[in-house]
Amino acid sequence: MRILSDTGVVFEDPRAVDLLRAAGARVEGGSQRVRLDPGLVLEKAALAPREFELVARTPERSVRVGGEHLVFAPTGGPAFVSDLEGGRRAGTLEDLHRLIRLSEAVPVIHHGAPEVVPTDRPLPSRHLDILLAQIRLSSRGLIGDTWGAARARDHLEMTAILFGGRDALSGKAALLGFVNSNSPLRYDRHMTEGLLEYATYGQPLIITPFIMAGATSPVTLAAAAAQQNAETLAGIVLAQIVRPGAPVLYGGFLTGMDMRTGAPAFGRPEAALGILAAAQMARRYGLPCRGAGLLTNSKVPDAQAGCEKANMLWPLLLAGVHYVPHAAGWLDSGLVASFEQFVIDADLLEMAGRFLAGIRVDEESLALEIIERVGPGGQFLAQPHTQRHMRTELLHPALSDTSAYESWARDGSNDSCARAGRRWRQILETYRQPPLDPAIDAALEEFVERRSRELQRFTGS
């Protein structure tokens, strides 16, 4: 609160500054720096819903955000893809489509579709290709572009077409946007525009600073968490001014800087503590919380990736966050979407679900009669009780190998990355494209074609 009140936050957008000033923020002269008093911050933050539904066009894919719910979404944003056969390479539209199909076929992915930049498509209209692919190939709720007003409006328009018009969309949280502040304490023009557009439409926003302790915030974690809190709340206040009750998530993405490389260090204790701090602060304001993701610096699905991802997952489970983007597929600090890593991560997410289910304790599960019947020195495998509960009590992750060394060696001594290379292709074969009303499909196609022509003409590409 002292950071917001004394230091303030810069919004590089005159509309945002005017809106904040009109709501009671202090702004000196023609400055873009906005200072917010605690009363204003708390009043506006309290307008945000504690829980809301992220609506998907396929109703059974709608998910709750907040409360006791935990939503996993796949990785988004990489410019590169990788798989064992093809190596690391720039993403294409075909890669994007394959990743979305893979994700659609993985039940533990609850919301969104993976995004990789289709670098073989014209730059000005790529965002249209991306959302069209999401809508056509995935049944899950949508994730939209927020970079500047134009892209945001295009995505909001497409979502309106999908849901039967702008009115039909009203009151529905159907297109989730990610807004990131430019830490320290600054929202650039593009992000602010995106925030304003989504909030105006009543569409949900995850508002996340990029805190790298030691570079974009002080190195001490208490300061990093405080600054993250100030930046997130500033964005949330703006969204609530634009539209009281707009669905928002408190976003955390705190890392420490690796001194040796200057890079953000994922999967480390500082990031784990940052997740706990963010979720605690979000609870303080009654806001649903976005947890960082299954993030790693590793270039390949190796032991480092495995440790770092589990080191992110566990604090996410402990913290009680509500939405986890980048939960599958992320590699190389977010530059790469990996097909192998995607299915490795999916197994880890399945394990999280079994862990959270806990230990059921009742007469049937205590099974004292069975213990008495089998007695000292016996074995339980042949007991009907074992057969009855084996498949529900124990999880059998597809990729985890427990075979004897000799049989593993006979099968080719495949490490988990090699096994994942077979596994994602098997999963991809189970993909079924979700049905879409042909009239809506045609309207979307028409919109995308028209806008693509306009945008490519406008930018001369």
Q: What part of residues 301-320 is at the interface with a second copy (CB under 8 A)? A: 301-311, 314, 318
Compute the distance between CA of residue 127 and CA of residue 60 in angstroms, rounded to an integer: 26
Site map 19..38 versus a second copy, x via CB under 8 A: --------------x-----
* Shortest reach from residue 362's CB to a second copy, in Å: 8
Between residues 34 and 246, which has the closer beta carbon with respect to a second copy? 34
* Shortest reach from residue 207's CB to a second copy, in Å: 16
Site for a second copy in 171-200 (CB under 8 A): 182, 184-186
Site map 359..398 versus a second copy, x via CB under 8 A: xxxx-xxxxx-xxx-xxxxxxxx-x-xx--xxx-xxxxx-
Q: Total residues contacting a second copy (rule CB under 8 A)?
A: 119
Site for a second copy in 137-166 (CB under 8 A): none
Contact 81, 116 (CB under 8 A): yes
Site for a second copy in 210-229 (CB under 8 A): 213-223, 225-227
* Shortest reach from residue 8's CB to a second copy, in Å: 7
**From residue 171, how far is each of 198, 239, 249, 285 by CA, in Å?**
12, 15, 17, 23
**From residue 412, how far is each of 402, 405, 421, 427 by CA, in Å?**
15, 11, 14, 21
How would you classify residue 178: left for phi > 0, otherwise alpha for psi between -120 and 50, otherwise beta?
Answer: beta
Within 10 angstroms of residue 346's Cβ, the number of other Cβ atoms is 29
Between residues 112 and 256, which has the closer beta carbon with respect to a second copy? 256
Site for a second copy in 316-345 (CB under 8 A): 318, 332-333, 335-336, 341, 344
Between residues 213 and 246, which has the closer beta carbon with respect to a second copy? 213
What tokens does 5 get?
Answer: 């009140």
- Rule CB under 8 A: is residue 300 a binding residue for a second copy? yes
Question: What is the DSSP annotation of 57-96?
Answer: SSGGG-EEESTT--EE---B--SEEEETTTEEEE--HHHH
Between residues 23 and 395, which has the closer beta carbon with respect to a second copy? 395
Stretch in the footprint of a second copy (CB under 8 A) among 6-14, 35-43, 128-136, 240-248: 6-14
- Rule CB under 8 A: is residue 355 a binding residue for a second copy? yes
Q: Tell me which residue of 225, 250, 215, 224 sits closest to 236, measured CA to CA.
A: 250
Cα-to-chain-centroid distance, residue 192: 20
Site for a second copy in 252-271 (CB under 8 A): 256-261, 263-265, 267-270
Contact 235, 210 (CB under 8 A): no
Q: Tell me which residue of 234, 243, 220 sits closest to 180, measured CA to CA.
A: 234
> Reduced to 3 states, what is the DSSP secondary structure of residue 374?
helix
